[in-house]
Structure 1
Amino acid sequence: MIFKTGFYPVKAQKVAIQVVFALGIWYAHLPAVAQTPHTIIAAPEPADLEQAESILAEDFITVRQLQAEFSDERANLQNQVDEIAARLTRLESQQFSPTSQLSGQAIFAVNAGVFEGDRVISPRGATVTRDQPNPTLLYRFSVDINTSFNGNDLLKLRLSAASAGSNDNAAGLLEPNLGSALDFAIPGTEQISLSRLYYTFNPTPDLSVTAGARMVAGDFIDKNRYANVSFRDFSTQALINNFLLVPRPGGSGGAIDWRPGQGAFSLRAVYIASSAAEDLPENQQFFGGGGVNNIRLFPISGGGAGGGLLGDPYLAIAELEYAPTRSLAVRLQYSRGEVLGSNFQVLGVNFDWAITPEIGIFARYGYASYPETTVGDIRPNYWSAGVSFQNVLRKGDLAGIGIAQPFIVTEIGNTTQTNIEAFYNFPLNDHIRITPLLQVISNAANQNSNGVIVTGTIRTVFTF
């Protein structure tokens, strides 16, 4: 009878010991030259072979007994393996079932500002205000529903609600024309609205294609690792995107992103068409609120304004990125559009460089051509630059200083507006970040009679 201890029978343990012992005796009787590596081993003694054969015969009998004893367990194990394989096959065939993820963000900010002098005037000289702005509390709330049907695609739906818009912060109230407003305050309607609705898929591993009814050009082009996300880094609109390159950011259209061979070059393109019925008043009032003293970049009347996906107004942007390393990227850009029958064209450059894991710099430049404005044919320039710091006082924090001149042109005003922003973003935990930021605007609206505008904001962002 065989008594079991642990996993192996006692007799099997003895057999194994005897085999090892016999092999050791056999090896010990070998000539010394046979024990040397890379030499031919001499034949063992006949007595050793007889002893090994008798031990192996007993071992074979034990193995047969073990096979018979565990035959049922082997069959059960094989059935379980077959069942698991069938389940895996079924899961693979069901990969096209949709999977949705819900995420959200809430931004709350307290803002206040002051200006020097008796009043603030617009680019054409009209009085914007004579009163100092009151402190304000502004907010933006958004919920994203991200759905994938095969694991390599994305259907994005975003619902948003926000406070009154650019006028709910001091910079946007005092200088509403040249990109001084807080970027996260601009979409405000105080009602829940659909702000994103598009579908992205990958026909090949190197190419992504997007089509949507609600898209924003900045989601796909003119990105920058240090100055691009107003709820994380800079908040001044002129520092978030090239002010000239993307004058009409939202609408319906499509985008592509092609990175051949996952190499250093990437080619992107975006086409956005807006609703003529909804957006033409804004187009006509690109500067200011449409008063007689405000400047319009597009004709007051006339032109196409045909609407639709392929009609006026529209915006098309192409971007070529060269990123030879993970720390460096340069982007060459071209945009073209049409509003009220008037064409505009813009050339741009976007650059960011991580000098070290904690320090990085960025810069943007733009040159545009706007014909037939109310001040004639103009060719404005734009530039911005700055530096970013990470892990300054604690792990995960972020700080930055940036400067921009959003609209350099001689036909509007008598000087050039300059925007400066400094911020420090520190995390309370993985879901809450607080950012004090300071904005300084000199020569607002390209008017040297405007005193310096200073605003302060405390931005709190909740993510879930």
Structure 2
Amino acid sequence: MLVKNFAFLLLVCPLVWATLLKDHSLAADTNSSLQGQVTSVSQLSDVKPTDWAFQSLQTLVERYACIAGYPDATYRGNRALSRYEFAAGLNACMNRISELIATGTNELVNREDLAVLQKLQTEFVTELATIRGRVDVLEARTATLEAQQFSTTTKLNAQIITAVSDSFGNSVGDDRDRSQTYFADRGRLNLESSFTGKDLLRVRLEFGNFLDSNGNSQIASVTGTGMTRLNFDTDSNNDLSIPHIRYYFPVSDSLAFIVGPTGIGYTDITDTVTPATIADDGNGVPSLFGSYSPLFRRGGGGAAVNWKLSDDLMLTLGYLADNPNFPSSNNGLFDGGYNTLAHLVYYGKQGAVGVAYSHGYGPGGRVNLTGGAGSNLAISPFGDNIATSSNIVGTQGYYRFSPHFQIHAWGGYIWANAESSGVSAISNGRGGTDSLSVNNGDHANAWFGAIGASFPDVGGKGNLPGILIGVPPHVSSSDIRKESENAYHIEAFYRWQLNDNISVTPGFWMILNPENNNNNDTQYVGLIRTTFDF
């Protein structure tokens, strides 16, 4: 059957035929009309419609339905065809008649047709041998690929990031620069399976060594602030884990669901509404704060729905629990930390804008309002041991002025409430903490924002220079402690796309008033990131 189907492709898909005819002596006979769709074997050259061979093959095709594709199973047209195209059609008829004989329907094949077929075979023996030789090679290659492929439903894609990085400037609350140049890596191996052609199951294997043995960012540990963190600084000791399992399945053209027991973030269920290259860990903005809005730095396990309200309007609703697979107190799917999201995005011809609302709750010991971005006080305004609820509203969007110039921006406001009472260690903005009393119902507010510009393909196809200026999360009012100054984040990077699989990105950013305190020295971070995508 493969030979038969391949012969048909040769006959009706001339671009495939031209690819096969790499030998100049075979390709020389290809008519210029082969650049378009061939609707009849008679559109080719060398064997004319008046030739006995043409008329004989036409009779065989019409009698035995050798070649599918014509509504009435007949040849049409009045132009000639190449000897090799003719041989392809002849080969299809030979296979068809052989099938009829093999299945016991040989009474349908009369002796006269067999005689004609034998005469045609003798006349075109050279061309048939060439075609069959090429088909045999392709069949062998196909069998090899089928034997060696990973899975019929699963493919592997991976991203390996390596980075040489360092920071400069006295550490927060210190009079010395404790940072050293370091070299670290992160790897993600994604096994992606589709069972219907529209759904997608992703299981991720991950390793890296950007974190210390306590699970803290190494660069943040020595600088004293999370404002210096890299976007991809995860994992420690290069231990292999499965941090992410996600299944996406549509139920209609306008409705799709996403579920996963672990490692599902807001970025896995909705669009960050910045250009795609900006939100990619390995190819976009290299800093943690600069990559996308802190509102979207929520994760866990749960479910979400994407509802396409119209061609240009998308609504996402999601629920993510911190530890959905731990059936103990303050854990589990509904008894523990969680985050819920409602995000409405409007897509225009040259950009998009979204409005998001997130509500969350963090039990004592697991409070993180900003996903690690911003000051320590903004991360846990009542201290980490005080259960905290939060409401965040944010807007984000981008606009492409031209194929080589686009801007993006985002901002948000946080309302936080203490959900328990006690004495808590509250960040003092100088690398230490103070013990302060917190009452159930105490309030704190924070805000953040950024604007950036990027220049796709400037300096070469696939390249991406970019700049960004922003204000990391800042506690502007609080019943416990607020921050009087703003930190400022200023960043520049240049992604140099070496080829489809490798990019190199020099990046640099500076933090004025780290930890939202002007008594701290300015921090400077530089890195060279190399990303391998395959």
| TM-score, normalisation: structure 1 | 0.70
Pairwise CA distance, 1:79: 7.8
2:280 matched to 1:229? Answer: yes
Cα distance in 2 for partners of 1:428, 1:343 equals: 46
Tell me which amino acid in the other structure corresponds to 1:7.
Answer: K
**Is the Cα contact below 8 Å between 1:363 and 1:383 reproduced in 2?**
yes
Structure 1 276/173 Cα, relative in aligned 2: closer, same or farther at 3 Å? farther
Aligned partner of residue 380 in structure 1, secondary structure: strand
When the two chains are superposed, the root-mean-square deviation of aligned CA atoms in Å is 3.0
2:197 matched to 1:151? Answer: yes
Q: Deviations over 1:119-150 (max 9, x none)?
A: 422xxxxx5x8443110001001111110001
Pairwise CA distance, 1:168: 5.8
2:490 is matched with 420
2:471 matched to 1:405? Answer: yes
2:48 matched to 1:7? Answer: yes
1:317 is aligned, of 341, 350, 363, to: 341
**Is the Cα contact below 8 Å between 2:186 and 2:210 reproduced in 1?**
no
Cα distance in 2 for partners of 1:442, 1:79 equals: 73
2:172 matched to 1:120? Answer: yes
1:194 is aligned, of 239, 242, 267, to: 242
1:348 is matched with 394
Cα distance in 1 for partners of 2:415, 2:508 equals: 32
Pairwise CA distance, 1:434: 0.2
**Is the Cα contact below 8 Å between 2:165 and 2:528 reproduced in 1?**
yes
1:445 is matched with 515
Aligned partner of residue 238 in structure 1, secondary structure: helix
Number of paired residues?
357
Cα distance in 1 for partners of 2:225, 2:461 equals: 36
Aligned partner of residue 183 in structure 1, secondary structure: coil
**Is the Cα contact below 8 Å between 2:265 and 2:296 reproduced in 1?**
no
**Is the Cα contact below 8 Å between 1:146 and 1:156 reproduced in 2?**
yes
2:407 is matched with 361
Tell me which amino acid in the other structure corresponds to 1:103.
Answer: N
Cα distance in 1 for partners of 2:183, 2:58 equals: 75
The structure that has the greater radius of gyration is 1
Name the structure where strand makes up a greater proportion of residues.
Answer: 1
Cα distance in 2 for partners of 1:401, 1:169 equals: 25
2:291 is matched with 240
**Is the Cα contact below 8 Å between 2:258 and 2:269 reproduced in 1?**
no
Tell me which amino acid in the other structure corresponds to 1:312.
Answer: G
**Alignment map for 1:320-339 (pairs within 5 Å):** 320-325=344-349, 327-339=350-362
Tell me which amino acid in the other structure corresponds to 2:302.
Answer: G
Aligned partner of residue 138 in structure 1, secondary structure: strand
**Is the Cα contact below 8 Å between 2:60 and 2:66 reproduced in 1?**
no
**Alignment map for 1:69-218 (pairs within 5 Å):** 71-72=59-60, 74-78=62-66, 99-116=153-170, 119-121=171-173, 130-165=176-211, 170=219, 173-177=222-226, 179-188=227-236, 190-214=238-262, 215-218=264-267
Tell me which amino acid in the other structure corresponds to 1:405.
Answer: V
Identity rate, percent: 25
Structure 1 76/213 Cα, relative in aligned 2: closer, same or farther at 3 Å? same
**Is the Cα contact below 8 Å between 2:273 and 2:354 reproduced in 1?**
no
Cα distance in 1 for partners of 2:395, 2:521 equals: 31
Cα distance in 2 for partners of 1:392, 1:349 equals: 28
Pairwise CA distance, 1:240: 2.0
Tell me which amino acid in the other structure corresponds to 2:154.
Answer: S
Cα distance in 2 for partners of 1:452, 1:355 equals: 34
Aligned partner of residue 449 in structure 1, secondary structure: coil
Structure 1 345/305 Cα, relative in aligned 2: closer, same or farther at 3 Å? farther
Pairwise CA distance, 1:432: 0.6
Cα distance in 2 for partners of 1:426, 1:338 equals: 41
Aligned partner of residue 222 in structure 2, secondary structure: helix
Aligned partner of residue 120 in structure 1, secondary structure: coil
Tell me which amino acid in the other structure corresponds to 2:473.
Answer: F
Cα distance in 2 for partners of 1:356, 1:172 equals: 41
Structure 1 71/254 Cα, relative in aligned 2: closer, same or farther at 3 Å? same
Q: Which has the higher contact order (CA 8 A, sep 6+)?
A: 1
- Identify unmatched segments of 5+ residues in structure 1: 13-62, 87-96, 122-126, 279-303
Tell me which amino acid in the other structure corresponds to 1:269.
Answer: L
Cα distance in 1 for partners of 2:410, 2:181 equals: 32
Tell me which amino acid in the other structure corresponds to 2:48.
Answer: F
| TM-score, normalisation: structure 2 | 0.61
Cα distance in 2 for partners of 1:76, 1:233 equals: 59
2:331 is matched with 307
Pairwise CA distance, 1:70: 6.3
Pairwise CA distance, 1:71: 4.5
Cα distance in 2 for partners of 1:164, 1:212 equals: 25
Structure 1 73/241 Cα, relative in aligned 2: closer, same or farther at 3 Å? closer
**Is the Cα contact below 8 Å between 2:300 and 2:324 reproduced in 1?**
no
Aligned partner of residue 519 in structure 2, secondary structure: coil
Tell me which amino acid in the other structure corresponds to 1:364.
Answer: W
Cα distance in 1 for partners of 2:255, 2:524 equals: 45
Q: Deviations over 1:353-373 (max 9, x none)?
A: 111111111111110111128
Cα distance in 1 for partners of 2:281, 2:49 equals: 67
Cα distance in 2 for partners of 1:436, 1:204 equals: 43
Aligned partner of residue 75 in structure 1, secondary structure: helix
Cα distance in 2 for partners of 1:317, 1:219 equals: 12
**Is the Cα contact below 8 Å between 2:389 and 2:418 reproduced in 1?**
no
Q: Deviations over 1:150-174 (max 9, x none)?
A: 1010011110001142866545631
**Is the Cα contact below 8 Å between 2:162 and 2:531 reproduced in 1?**
yes
Cα distance in 2 for partners of 1:277, 1:98 equals: 30
Tell me which amino acid in the other structure corresponds to 2:459.
Answer: L
- Identify unmatched segments of 5+ residues in structure 2: 1-45, 74-94, 100-150, 364-386, 427-441
Cα distance in 2 for partners of 1:187, 1:385 equals: 29
Bigger Cα displacement from structure 2, 160-169 vs 365-374: 160-169
Tell me which amino acid in the other structure corresponds to 2:356.
Answer: Q
Aligned partner of residue 251 in structure 2, secondary structure: strand
